[in-house]
Structure 1
Amino acid sequence: MPPRRTRPVVNRALAALIEQAGWTHAATAQQVNAVAAETGERIHYDRSAVGHWLTGTVPRPEAVHAAVEAFRRRLGRPDLGPAHLGWPDPGAGPPADDPWRGDPVARLATLGEDDLLNRRTVLTAGTFTLAALSSLSNLSGISGTSARSARRARVPGPSGRPGAGDVARIRAATVAFADLDDRFGGAHARVAVAAYLAREVTPLLREASGRTRPDLFAAAADLGYLAAYMAMDAGANALAQRYYISTVRLADEAGDLLLRATALRSMAVQAAELGHDGEALALADAAASALGGHGPRRTLAWITGMRAEAHAAAGTRWDALNLLRRTENQLERAGSPQEAGWGNYRHESLEHQIGLTLTQLGDHATAARHFTASMNARRPVETRTRVLIGLRAANAYLRAGDPERAAVTALGFGDDVRLTASARVGDELRRLRAGWQRFRDSPLVAEADRAMSTGPQSTGPQSTGPLATGRAR
């Protein structure tokens, strides 16, 4: 219940939107803080601050932009602006910018440089925004002028131009960076990836021509995908969204629908983890449409599994369960697992996907068993993935009413938590520790809580080959 007022409401526009959103003053403040945190902006408003806003106070510019985005998401109204909240436009927000347009290489170069140098232009270039996903015509397939036609018009460049050796080096670097991500989390070595992408790869893309051009753009898309995933894992979701869009556009330049579908599928993962259920479903469906039912069965299973999770979040239970069965059938018909490659979807990835889907459907006890099976099957190098899924298993056991099983699960990977630089791991850990506080009289829970008290190395956005292996998915 809102606090008792001593001053009259002046900002009736804001009061009306809060009522439409169904938020308390405390919830409004929490949502604004959370949206701002996606860009690394740490603000700490509470319900009293919202009360001041209602009586005429205008918050500082970063809070205005965060509040606008929070209400856009809650009400499904991408048209909302500061005026709808009863505030003047502070004029300090990001300029209107469509990441789907313009030269994709120039955009990638600017994005990488801004990321590398920690420029505010990228860290506050809007939060993860639904506006970038609002035009699904961008997501359904390669559109506009055919990139492949443009490539056919090119002629091979001189011998000094990029060649197969450059492609091989980019792919080798991507595999090396991906190994660091698997072992230590996305917040570790992320700046090195941005530097390599901006300083080494984009200059090659500008000079690419001839038969090597598609391979070079595909290799760059692989690396862009890794940069996006690492940014998302580090909690820099606005930045990750831009990298994912760049990946889709590089895949289009390469004429590679498999790369496009993979990037769209991972954008669906990001949207799902941020609670944007409708957008997650649209992105997952767009990934499936990009392939049209054709492609490696492991990739098809990987995408179908994401569609199952998105349908579960959207409340279409039977569609979700039917898609899970289809995922399992596709995986059973697939050949032997690749050691690397797009859509390297294994049985342990499916176990994790089932756990996520059942969590959305409210079956926490069964979800916990699937999470545990996925965690136990992970390879030793998959430290971050094993910890993340293990924490999801512990949270599922806790929500199913078994705090001691949650504690035993958490104790099984306590040392690895401290090695992991991941905001997503930090979020899961905070959720777990908050949830089992009322069970601290159990010696086992108390021991696990102490073991988890140091947490991962990173719990927020950092300023500082083929990858679709079902990375924690």
Structure 2
Amino acid sequence: MAPKRARPIANLALAAAIEAAGWTRAATARHINAVAAETGTPLHYDHSTVGHWLTGTTPRPEGISAGVEAFRRGLHRSDLVPADLGWPEVAGLVEAADDPWQGDVVARLTALGEDDMLRRRTVLTAGAFSLAGFAAPPPADPARASARRGGAGDVERIRETARRFGDLDDLYGGGHARHAVAAYLVHDVAPLLHGTTGRARPDLFRAAAELTYLAAYMAMDAGANGLALRYYVQTVRLADEAGDRVLRATSLRSMAVQARELGHDQEALSLADAAASALGGRAPGRTVAWVTGMQAEAHAGVADRQDALALLRRTEAQLERVDSLPEAEWTGNYRRESLEHQTGLALTALGDHVAAAEHYAASAGSRRPVERRTRAVVGLRCARAHLQAGDAERAAAAVLGLRPTLEGVVSARVRGELRLLRWGWARCRSDAHVAEADVLVAGLLR
């Protein structure tokens, strides 16, 4: 018979949330620590800390903030508040007055780049993925950057820089050279945006939006999710300044990807639909397919199986009709292997792990050499799909096959997948292949 608890559970709301998430106390602590790390506030909670909370102890404000976001993701409940966990409200969870949709866009971009250079993290607050601010007219703020006049040569230079940094991101992950991108935005790009008028202005804002989009993607891949979201917001605003609907849709779609990865499924659906609406049917075919594929994944995320599968079929048909080279359309560089990955994500959300693994494998196996980080992420998702389907040996084999790809990649998303695999096959480590793969994964995580 289990020994009687010295102190009974006093926080029934927290106990119910942990049970609903399917977490142990140790897993609860890990999820909260991971969210806190995204904001630059390292926490070191463990199973005993969670035990104290269950008996009535209240976490510090930063613990409450991280805990609420962790349970929002784990329970797929973006409306969850501290009271749902038996905790008091804290100031850090209310929506910030510093609304990234407001104010001078160039001043916002400059401040954001400076935060990135100084490695300041930005927390994801309640309603962070809200569509409410999309149409809000921005009041002018004083410029923070000195002005310089730009022209066509500057536009091409910014785009070429974005291409070079993009290649580094593909090869080594968002944790590599991200602060250099931020510095380039602050010192070279922002002054041109303030100083340029006339015919060159839309192209300059378009080029700046492309580079800001890359900064957002790199920040997300590096695990700085609050920072990434603010970069994406400024990408939308820069695209609006340039009058570029496709760029607006591109950023909204990537915000949907981020929301899905963080467990904000209803917000992801709203953002994916907003991206489709932004296109308005007037976009290159490959870009349309790219956005439709995200809508399919988002519908799967809210368990809408029928619409998700119908949208996947529509995406495939759209992609088959495309005759342009992918490289010709950076906003929607969508290939067959991208669709295979998206299909795997949708099927994972729908619980069809065997079929998902097949699509992940097809995607990872056809990636170009430059797509090293993406091949690592997709390959690890393939391994996890095998594990979720009950085949730990195939999961281990998939990981071992990725050994050359994984070495040298600096990506929080890769590390997150590695941690999930270690947790998932913990009971199978007596198997020789799993043990070998576990040693590899443990070494990479160190």
Shorter-chain TM range is: 0.7 to 0.9
Task: State the partner residue of 2:36.
Answer: 36
Q: Distance in 2 between matches of 1:276 and 1:214?
A: 33
Task: State the partner residue of 2:353.
Answer: 364
Cα distance, 1:68 vs. partner? Answer: 4.5
Change beyond 3 A, Cα 1:220–1:355: same
Q: Extract unaligned runs of 5+ from structure 2.
A: 141-146
- Describe the SS at the equivalent of 2:326: coil
- Describe the SS at the equivalent of 1:133: coil
Cα distance, 1:402 vs. partner? Answer: 2.6
Q: Distance in 2 between matches of 1:3 and 1:34?
A: 32
Change beyond 3 A, Cα 1:332–1:93: closer
Change beyond 3 A, Cα 1:405–1:207: same
Which one of 114, 122, 128 corresponds to residue 132 of structure 1?
128
Residue by residue over 1:118-164, the C-alpha shift from the partner in whole angstroms, topping out at 9 and shown as x without a partner, is: 24xxx1x3x22342323x2434xx664899xxxxxxxxxx9x72111
Cα distance, 1:438 vs. partner? Answer: 3.2
Q: Distance in 2 between matches of 1:187 and 1:72?
A: 26
Q: Say whether the 8 Å CA contact 1:425–1:456 is kept in structure 2.
A: no
Q: Say whether the 8 Å CA contact 2:76–2:263 is kept in structure 1.
A: no
- Describe the SS at the equivalent of 1:131: coil
Change beyond 3 A, Cα 1:77–1:324: closer
Q: Does 1:105 align with 2:135?
A: no
Letter in 2 for 1:390: G
Q: Say whether the 8 Å CA contact 1:62–1:93 is kept in structure 2.
A: no
Letter in 2 for 1:397: H
Residue by residue over 1:40-62, the C-alpha shift from the partner in whole angstroms, topping out at 9 and shown as x without a partner, is: 32212245434544666443332
Letter in 1 for 2:230: R
Give RMSD over aligned pairs. Answer: 3.1
- Describe the SS at the equivalent of 2:128: helix
Q: Distance in 2 between matches of 1:233 and 1:104?
A: 24
Task: State the partner residue of 2:335.
Answer: 346
Which one of 248, 273, 277 corresponds to residue 236 of structure 2?
248
Q: Extract unaligned runs of 5+ from structure 1.
A: 148-157, 458-473
Q: Distance in 2 between matches of 1:437 and 1:326?
A: 39
Q: Distance in 2 between matches of 1:46 and 1:82?
A: 22
Q: Say whether the 8 Å CA contact 1:248–1:259 is kept in structure 2.
A: yes
Change beyond 3 A, Cα 1:47–1:103: same
Task: State the partner residue of 1:268.
Answer: 256
Cα distance, 1:70 vs. partner? Answer: 4.6
Q: Does 1:447 align with 2:440?
A: no
Which deviates more, 393-402 or 102-111? 393-402
Q: Say whether the 8 Å CA contact 1:264–1:284 is kept in structure 2.
A: yes
Cα distance, 1:320 vs. partner? Answer: 0.4
Question: Where do 1:227-306 residues align within 5 Å?
Answer: 227-306=215-294
Residue by residue over 1:245-282, the C-alpha shift from the partner in whole angstroms, topping out at 9 and shown as x without a partner, is: 11111111111110000000000000101111111111
Change beyond 3 A, Cα 1:180–1:356: same
Which deviates more, 40-49 or 15-24? 15-24
Q: Distance in 1 between matches of 2:445 and 2:156?
A: 34
Q: Distance in 2 between matches of 1:202 and 1:387?
A: 34
Letter in 1 for 2:184: Y
Task: State the partner residue of 2:398.
Answer: 409
Task: State the partner residue of 2:176.
Answer: 188
Residue by residue over 1:406-450, the C-alpha shift from the partner in whole angstroms, topping out at 9 and shown as x without a partner, is: 233222220221110011111112222332343334333333333
Q: Distance in 2 between matches of 1:312 and 1:79?
A: 21
Letter in 1 for 2:7: T
Residue by residue over 1:309-366, the C-alpha shift from the partner in whole angstroms, topping out at 9 and shown as x without a partner, is: 1111101101000000000000011113232421111111111111111111111111
Task: State the partner residue of 2:320.
Answer: 332
Cα distance, 1:29 vs. partner? Answer: 4.2
Give aligned-pair identity as a percent: 59
Task: State the partner residue of 1:466.
Answer: none
Q: Distance in 2 between matches of 1:128 and 1:161?
A: 35
Letter in 2 for 1:118: R
Q: Say whether the 8 Å CA contact 1:418–1:456 is kept in structure 2.
A: no
Cα distance, 1:293 vs. partner? Answer: 2.2
